[in-house]
Amino acid sequence: MATTDKASTRDRLLDAAAELFYREGVSIGVEALCRTAGVSKRSMYQLFTSKDEVLAASLERRLPGYEAQLAGAPQAAPPRERILHVFERLEKASTDPAYQGCPYLAALVELKDPEHPASAVARGAKDWMKGYLQTLAQEGGARDAELLARQLMLVFDGASARAGARVETLDGLAVATVTTLLDAAGVT
Q: How many domains does the chain have?
A: 1
Residue 20 in any domain: the answer is: no
Residue 155 in any domain: the answer is: yes
The model's confidence at residue 4, banded by pLDDT at 50, 70 and 90, is: low
Residue 40 in any domain: the answer is: no
Whether 62 shows a pLDDT value over 90: the answer reads yes
- Region 128-157 average pLDDT: 98
Whether 130 shows a pLDDT value over 70: the answer reads yes
Q: Mean pLDDT in the chain?
A: 94
The string of pLDDT tens digits covering residues 86-97 is: 999 999 999 999
Residue 16 in any domain: the answer is: no
Residue 123, Cβ density class (10 Å: 0-12 exposed, 13-18 middle, ≥19 buried): middle
pTM for the model: 0.91
What's the domain range around 157? 53-185
Residue 43 in any domain: the answer is: no
Residue 90 in any domain: the answer is: yes
Whether 69 shows a pLDDT value over 80: the answer reads yes
Residue 37 in any domain: the answer is: no
Whole-number pLDDT of residue 1: 42
At 168, which CATH number?
1.10.357.10
